[in-house]
Amino acid sequence: MDCQGHKGHTAFGWLVGRTCSGESTVGFVTLTIGLMVVMVAVGYMPTRALAGDGAVWAMVAGCLTSAVASWAGAVPVLLARRKQRALAAAGVTDTPETWAVMMSIVIRFAVVGILALALAIGSGLSTAPYLIWVSISYMLFLVIDTMYTLDFGPLKWRRAHA
Q: Where are the domains of the chain?
A: 13-155
On the question of pLDDT at 9 being above 80, the answer is: no
pLDDT band at 156 (very low <50, low <70, confident <90, very high): low
Nearest to 69 by CA among 16, 139, 153: 139
CB burial string 6-34: b at 16+ within 10 A, e below: eeeeeebeebbbbeeebbbbebbbebbee
The pLDDT, as a whole number, for residue 49 is 93
pTM of the model: 0.76
pLDDT grade for 30, boundaries at 50, 70 and 90: confident
Instruction: Please name which of 57, 37, 39 lies closest in space to residue 48, comparing C-alpha atoms.
Output: 57
Counting Cα atoms < 13 Å in the Cβ hemisphere of 79 gives 12
